[in-house]
Amino acid sequence: KAGVTQTPRYLIKTRGQQVTLSCSPISGHRSVSWYQQTPGQGLQFLFEYFSETQRNKGNFPGRFSGRQFSNSRSEMNVSTLELGDSALYLCASSLRLAWNEQFFGPGTRLTVL
């Protein structure tokens, strides 16, 4: 069974630009969560999608948004990039909403210059 895939793996952007990251969950998994990982703050929850609806949200500004498609694939968008948005963005999929067993992808390394 293929794991969680994320594209692209690496991205370099400049301040003020916007970026879209993509996540394909494990086949059959319906829940997708997004996390931001930085050395200073660690892993922080962004949001979780299930059945194309955002079900839970972390404490991030509105510049961070996401969506989920009918095939459970998900995208995350960050608008008006700031230097502090440089991080590893991880996507995790699970069978159900609020399920303990989450499977993480390799992440997208975003650098904002």
How many whole angstroms separate alpha carbon 86 and alpha carbon 84?
5
100 binds another protein, rule: CB under 8 A:
yes
Residue window 32-51: x/- pattern of binding to another protein, with contact defined by CB under 8 A? -x-------xxxxx--x---
- Enumerate residues 6+ apart whose C-beta is below 8 A from 74: 22, 23, 25, 32, 34, 49, 66, 67, 68, 91
- Per DSSP (E only), the strands in the chain are 5-7, 10-13, 19-24, 31-38, 42-50, 53-57, 64-68, 74-78, 87-94, 103-104, 108-112
Min dist. Cβ of residue 103 to another protein (A): 8
70: contact with another protein by CB under 8 A: no
Q: Which is nearer to another protein, 62 or 70 (CB)?
A: 62
Nearer to another protein, 61 or 106 (CB): 106
Does the protein bind another protein through residue 62 (CB under 8 A)?
no
Q: Does 20 bind another protein (CB under 8 A)?
A: no
Would you count residue 2 as binding another protein (CB under 8 A)?
A: no
